[in-house]
Amino acid sequence: MPDVPQPPPNPPPEPSGETGPEEAGRAGRERKPFLLRISPQLMDELRAWAAQDMRSLNGHIEWLLRDAVRRRRGKKE
């Protein structure tokens, strides 16, 4: 039986060039999974807020965290 040519392996991913959390929400960027335990009441509030802003719950939580980091970085201690 003749050898069947195999497709070349996938090249390694390119470095993302991320400079911080504010870049993490950009399309095509790698994200790391993270388990978050919150109360059902807070989850309901976040889900409603996300819906008002036309975001997924995950996208809204990422936005809130990026905003908090941006604000913290802006403060001079």
pLDDT digits (tens, 9 = 90+) for 16-30: 444 444 444 455 678
* Pairwise pLDDT comparison (52 vs 13), residue with the higher score: 52
> In this structure, is residue 53 part of a structural domain?
yes
Indicate the number of domains in the chain.
1
In a domain, 57, yes or no: yes
Could you identify the residue written with the tokens 């819906």? 51
pLDDT tens figures, 45-64: 999 999 999 999 999 999 99
pLDDT of residue 23: 47
Radius of gyration of the chain (CA): 20
54 in a domain, yes or no? yes
Average per-residue pLDDT in the chain?
A: 78
Crossing angle, helix 57-74 and helix 40-52, to 10 degrees? Answer: 90
C-beta contacts of 47-52 below 8 A and 24+ residues apart: none
d(CA 19, CA 74): 16
pTM: 0.57
